[in-house]
A and B are shown apart, each in its own frame.
Chain A
């Protein structure tokens, strides 16, 4: 009897050992294996949307505004963005979204790596798959370009310290060293050329209820035009800008249609001017300038407000809310609200107006002053009531005027600081826009004009060259 009891017990022990083997193999319930992730074109579609999800467009807007002369500190600011506004950033405290864009690149690379193994079941799916590949490729180029704009040198000289073009999925232990501007541009151009020759739709397509949230050939051409400006390849810039305008089928908006762009009024229907937007729900872009409780962090600078004719220029009231009673204090109205809720508004990544400005700048550089004047006149006519066309007579004036028009037209859209850096122009703020002369002017020779690579990257990857001065 005892023997039986003991044997029974041993048997139980043994059985539990075998039974537990199975219990130790646990399939996670909140995440899933990469090997089952991309199985269909629909999965790829979701992967591509994940790339857009990583695109921190508001970061570009915010940094361009607070580093440049677009805004001034409100007296309700409790420290938000003050270090950056005063150029007191250091490599340890500011990342300027270095990681965010590489995360976007990694997602693009992962989609592109998996796409080959995804089977398209019919011709429609095959086309969709090709479009998704082109989209991921273009997104990869866009992310690299954002990085280059931030961390590249003043004037973006080809041999200068650029960023590394990453077009494969890296393992966690890889530590790429730093590439030049030229290397980055080569990678960006190759990806954009590939996307241009794909079966992407020409014009921006309105996704129902979302607007133009997907990349089209028009956007790719527009990005090519931007890239050409940084390369100072004026002919290419002019051509690409023309292509973008043609491909998009968009015209400059006027009147209420123009004002409506900034509240996403017609985003899901006619989508005026906009080539590509980042959809924002929940807490949104408006909180860059003003806290949810109403405290204002940044006001439009006096310098910017002075640029406009307050009565004839439609942009003034579209971009600002002015309280003349309180010493002309103003709020940024351009990215502030929509029908989806206060401070919830989309990021506009590219508009047709910018294409006119690119082409004008390129033409002026190519000494086609008549062409440059024509583009500027087209734009101004759409914005200013009773506008009298002008004719540029010398290149220098033309460039100054065009850069100023960019300042006015593209305010808060993420261009100003990059433009000054690209053209090698200093940041000059008005005395009334600063509380100390210490942060009034930043000459282009100052090392702080080029943003620091985050120290966490240098620490992990000592082979990566930091920008001078940090």
Chain B
């Protein structure tokens, strides 16, 4: 009752103000260059009096006689407080663009002014996103946000990256953040069909307060993208176009050329002969027998025994082999063409604004056959009719991609493996063409030509349709009570096709039924080929309803409380088939297939499945701000996931945050050099529902349908875990936002501690149980770290600005507990308490014994031995997750010219270089592959000091193959020129023109000797390296 009285009293107070005498103030709001800003908010502080500027930036507002200032705010610009006197009638305001640390934080559930935001969040502005020649926007974020680790595993156009915020929070579940576009959660890792040029900004929400809004899905952080919206006023038509080239980056190693390889073969032959002689069997089998470098060598005993004519023939043989020097890089790599075009139209009236765009993006990869072609469409609408505000978001993208084969695998079909393993003395073409294969020199052991033929013999492509639709409306029921709903759809359908063309070499060497190894040359059933097509559809629907109350009491107490319910349904479906027997006149269509029968054995195969998961949440948010000085945020949330057993299904998540704006205190009144100083703190918990490593039904024992040679069978699928639970992450964050010298130096410092409990651990049951590994909740892991972002305007005046920015982050990851489980190996790493996730686990390399040429290893207790044993593996080689990451950028602007450079780095991590295992391994030369130039140092004589072991020993996978992968990358360099208004003159047609040139991935400094130190996993296995891209572009507005 007392509260009600208070409320009524407060309302009366507000009302009284409204009745007091008012006057009208008019004016105009412009940006720093004098262009009118439409839709800017002009308000009287501590009141509800506000208005928006019109298309020409003009406004008119009735203010109380007592008002002494007007606050003007606009997204992307610093708030401005304009003093007014008792008699002011006009006020013109020019707003200054805010730096990254200013403005607003978009949380996906709404927008919050940074000055009253208690969470830790960073914003990437459109300027850092637009024009970057990368199809997947997650890759663009590398080095832009402190604490955000972005590593691309592939340079295939459109490949998405591994993204991790503030360290991994799960061992076997997903550690990637939640992605939200305009409030609608979208599928992670599938961004190839989304146009980053449509983005206004990307906000990265890092701490518990920021993530609590997403409750059970927010533990790994949230990346919120906001697309561009129209502004009331003049209709703006703009065009952006770029053309460019993609080329290979820097390579840190050299393979042998023909002369070197022949020399190596001779060396091997001489060594083998010497070994045989020592064993009393000089005519015994020679390791180098069959290699031209030894067969024709003068050191070969048979040379001396040959006739002079034969000797001359051998010399000629050697010369002719040596003279073939195929540069396989020229064969497999190319300079790709890059083009992109964007056209958008935006504008609108006071009540309705629109933004429409179409985009075309075309990128050829550096490997033959790989490319991406994308078409995107977007229409965003906003409508405001006083009480009802509505926002519609709609994006549609269609992408087609062609791929290389077997990317990231050590197979000869992978062109990035073949290009290095191919023998330099083999030629690509033959002078005796085959009736099927043409003049490509294919055949057994022809590594290069075979892989080259595969590029034309097979098609691997997919096309993807992606749609994002969202409708958000809010209705002001009363001045203080609002309600609304949001409905969103995220749709993706990927259609993948793999074709082995009939009557090609690749089909010929494939297993039945693609190509039988029949020897009958005219058999029409030979080399039938295959056609595989699959369709995968994902459809996520989310709906949220909310009701809230907000008010300001006594001009100081701001409260905003709301209650929400949210339902998310994630459906997926996939199916595919493989058919055989293609008609070579119709290679890329199912209509080309031969129907299967018991006689021709061309029985098509199929795959498929479907599923659904749901998540229901009910949550409340409360925000209280006192006089813009103190802010307290409180979130309570209950989430229920269909993936968990009923007893653990519903869980509560909480968070609390506070923000103290120090400069609002009296004691700071004369801190003239300090322009921003805020202290933030937050605590809360969240979970990993977006990355559960479990499927529907994992909590009870299950069976699966299968077949034994065509007879239906029932097989146990899983014993079930009735205790499945959430992975709870609790995070504490303390942060500081600061600005000095009128915001010339700004920055943000955050310290956090994040502990995840109930980690999913892949329990390895005793093999005797017959069960595959099972997920159970047991472990504990901690991430703690510090992040710093700094921005300094070294020079800031009308004609010249020079800006330097940097962001640095250090994250310390440690597994605190594995519950009841013992440590276990995961691939080439070990999961062990006290070590970070991803710690390499392998036997330590001890060099080569100069006396015997035997490889040496260290035992577990540090003794040298020549006996290799897996049991001697140790975990002393660090982790593949870089603990120290960041980026820095600088830009100089002189009038219309601007030069901007951007660097990223990742420091303090190591990775396996599996390429070394193949390229520095004599055993693979014996199988007919080329090796690295270092192999010429192979041990062949006692006393020889080298790290390449004798060719009669076994090369093992050891710490020799672990390398420091730290890198500093010159990520982007851009030079641009904006035409001055004087050149555009008085013509009314073109309003602005900007031309620019840029280089992406210009150079990489690293000790790594593989293709590319950057990768999304622990081991380099012939990945598609990140290309270097040069483009020229133009932006025109009409």
Contact = CB atoms under 8 A, between A and B. Distances in A.
Contact of A46 (B477, B518, B547, B712): B712
Interface in A81-107: 88, 90-93, 98-99, 102-107
Contact of B708 (A2, A52, A176, A464): A52
Interface residues of B, number: 83
Given A13-B563, A25-B642, A37-B703, A31 B718 contact: yes
Contact of A32 (B613, B703, B711): B703
B768 A176 contact: yes
A6 B547 contact: yes
A318 B613 CA distance: 56
Given A28-B697, A341-B512, A455 B870 contact: yes
Contacts of A310: none
A25 B739 CA distance: 52
A415 interface: no
Contacts of A24: 614, 616, 640-642, 649
Nearest to A8: B483
A172 B869 contact: no
A109 B770 CA distance: 10
A248 to B, nearest CB: 22
Given A88-B954, A171-B719, A29 B611 contact: yes
B715 A53 contact: yes
A293 B509 contact: yes
A176 B766 contact: yes
A443 interface: no
Given A33-B702, A170-B768, A460-B764, A23 B712 contact: no
A405 interface: no
Binding site of B, secondary structure by majority: helix, strand, loop or mixed? Answer: mixed
Nearest to A12: B545
Contacts of B563: 13
A342 B709 contact: no
B444 interface: yes
Nearest to B774: A172
Interface in B655-709: 695-697, 700-709
Given A13-B563, A92-B871, A99-B767, A79 B927 contact: yes
Interface string B708-741: 1111111111111100000000000000000000
A279 B770 contact: no
B771 A106 contact: yes
A317 B871 CA distance: 45
Interface in B251-276: none
Contacts of A283: 511
Contacts of B765: 172-174, 460
A33 B618 contact: no
Contact of A292 (B290, B509, B701, B923): B509
Contacts of B717: 31
B510 interface: yes
A102 B870 contact: no
A75 B286 CA distance: 13
Nearest to A93: B870
A214 to B, nearest CB: 11
Contacts of B513: 341
B612 interface: yes
Contacts, number: 236
A293 B517 CA distance: 8
Contact of A29 (B518, B612, B923): B612
B871 A279 contact: no
Interface string B423-458: 000000000000000000000100000000000000
B481 A110 contact: no
A457 B768 contact: yes
A285 to B, nearest CB: 13
Contacts of A279: 708-709
A43 B616 contact: no
Contacts of B993: none
A13 B770 contact: no
A386 to B, nearest CB: 33
Contacts of A50: 706, 708, 713-715
A9 B545 contact: yes
A170 B712 contact: no
A129 to B, nearest CB: 15
Interface string B597-619: 00001000000011111101010
B545 A16 contact: yes
B563 to A, nearest CB: 7
A52 to B, nearest CB: 6
B611 A30 contact: yes
B511 A2 contact: no
Interface in B895-952: 923, 927, 952
A203 interface: no
A28 B702 contact: yes
A281 B707 CA distance: 11
Contact of B285 (A26, A79, A99, A435): A435
B454 to A, nearest CB: 12
A456 interface: yes
A23 B545 contact: no
B283 interface: no
B589 to A, nearest CB: 25
A301 B770 CA distance: 36
B616 A23 contact: yes
Contacts of B111: none
Interface in B743-776: 763-771, 774
A63 B400 CA distance: 46
B99 to A, nearest CB: 40
B569 interface: yes
B708 A6 contact: no
A26 B512 contact: no
A54 to B, nearest CB: 8
Interface string B235-264: 000000000000000000000000000000
B478 interface: yes
A166 B482 CA distance: 65
B616 A20 contact: yes
Interface string A161-184: 000101000111111100000000
B547 A102 contact: no
A34 interface: yes
A467 to B, nearest CB: 13
A34 B616 CA distance: 27
Interface string A454-468: 111101111010000
A326 B852 CA distance: 36
B239 to A, nearest CB: 45
Contacts of A10: 547
A343 interface: yes
B696 to A, nearest CB: 4
Nearest to A176: B768
B927 A457 contact: no
21 contacts: A6-B477, A21-B616, A24-B642, A29-B696, A32-B704, A32-B705, A34-B703, A38-B714, A46-B713, A47-B713, A90-B868, A91-B870, A99-B770, A106-B769, A173-B763, A174-B769, A292-B512, A293-B517, A342-B512, A343-B511, A459-B822
Interface of A: 2, 5-6, 9-10, 12-13, 16-17, 20-21, 23-35, 37-38, 43, 46-47, 49-50, 52-53, 75-76, 78-79, 88, 90-93, 98-99, 102-107, 109-110, 164, 166, 170-176, 210, 213, 279-281, 283, 287, 292-295, 340-344, 435-436, 454-457, 459-462, 464
Interface of B: 285, 290, 444, 477-478, 481, 483, 509-513, 516-518, 545, 547, 563, 565, 567, 569, 601, 609-614, 616, 618, 640-642, 646, 649, 695-697, 700-721, 763-771, 774, 822-825, 868-871, 873, 923, 927, 952, 954
Given A28-B695, A294-B517, 8 more contacts: A31-B718, A49-B708, A79-B927, A103-B770, A170-B768, A175-B766, A456-B764, A457-B767
Top 8 nearest A-B pairs by Cβ distance? A106-B770, A92-B870, A28-B697, A292-B511, A279-B709, A34-B701, A50-B713, A53-B708
